[in-house]
Amino acid sequence: MEGQGEIRLGTSAFTAAGWPGAFYPAGLKPSEYLSYYAQQFDTVEVDSTFYRVPNAATVRKWHTCTPQGFLFAAKAPLTITHERVLVDCEDELKGFLAAMEPLGEKLWPILFQLPYFNRQVFSNLEAFLERLVPFLVRLPRGQRFAVEIRNKNWLGPKLLDALRKRKVALTLIDHPWMPRPREWMARGDPITADFIYIRWLGDRKGIEKETKTWDKVIVNRERELEEWVEACRSFNQRSISVFAFANNHYAGHAPATVRLFQELWRKK
């Protein structure tokens, strides 16, 4: 895709209920899924690492069955983000990064997906920054990181400056209680690194009332994706690379969401 900065599009995970026959050709072996996926998209967000650290053989296979130039984003373990909440987790982070080393040059952003924090956990943004900043300072250099914040009232100059000082990317998410793309911009410049991380998440509870089989689109997201096309073009024009990932909960079938974005991008 044209532009001063690159844009990479993929899905959150490369397997899901309903994908065989809808995305993957009928009869394709599960062991061949990632190789096929990498022929369709040029990046993937690995969701499984959020729940458990993969073994070396698994990570080596990810590397060998994807072509040169394919890139992985990986979610940091929930022990870091949800259980320890960024405290006393140096060993967990070190172990996770060591496990991901076989990906070599194919490993790009590591995502710290933080939950929504109520006032019992952090009374305000300042209390959260007292936890976040020391964690950011200890992050190893030479690896790209992104942080996802689900407290919309915290989005603003103080948070952005804290991320920018360590060149950690802010993650923009399309989620029912989070801002729309133009609102993100209105709260301050969301560019805090040389790339930006975007996640099209959608309303998980709402869509799961209708289906838990992700084989077709059940929500029309064209209008929302047009807004993201506009935002991504503005990022590219600033030589900022974009990593954007679609979740099945966004519209019902993540590969179709990526395809729709690609179509809208080409039209603009």
Query: Would you kindly state where each structural domain of the chain is located, as residue ranges?
Result: 7-267
CA angle centred on 265, ends 260 and 267, rounded to 5°: 100
Task: Tell whether pTM > 0.85.
Answer: yes
Which burial class, exposed, middle or buried, applies to 29 when counting CB atoms under 10 A from its CB (0-12, 13-18, 19+)?
A: exposed
pLDDT of residue 268: 66
Instruction: Convert the pLDDT of each residue in 172-192 to its tens digit.
Output: 999 999 999 999 888 899 999
Question: How is domain 7-267 classified at the CATH fold level?
Answer: TIM Barrel (3.20.20)
8 A C-beta contact, residue 197 and residue 174: no
Strand partners, 45: 12, 73
Q: Which alpha helices (DSSP H) does the chain contain, by range?
A: 33-40, 56-64, 78, 90-100, 125-138, 157-165, 181-186, 204-208, 222-236, 248-251, 254-267
- CA torsion angle 222 112 191 246 (round to 10): -10
CB atoms within 10 A of CB 40: 15
CB atoms within 10 A of CB 131: 14
Instruction: Convert the pLDDT of each residue in 132-185 to its tens digit.
Output: 999 999 999 999 999 999 999 999 999 999 999 999 999 999 999 999 999 988
- CA torsion angle 246 248 251 253 (round to 10): 100
Residue 105's pLDDT band, with cuts at 50, 70 and 90, is: very high
pLDDT of residue 191: 97
* Residue that has been written with the tokens 């690995």 in this structure: 46
* Residue that has been written with the tokens 């690609």 in this structure: 262
Return the exposure string of 206-236: e unless at least 16 CB atoms fall within 10 Å of the residue's CB, then b. Answer: ebeeebeebbebebebeebbbebbebbbebb
In the chain, the N- to C-terminal Cα span, in Å, equals: 12
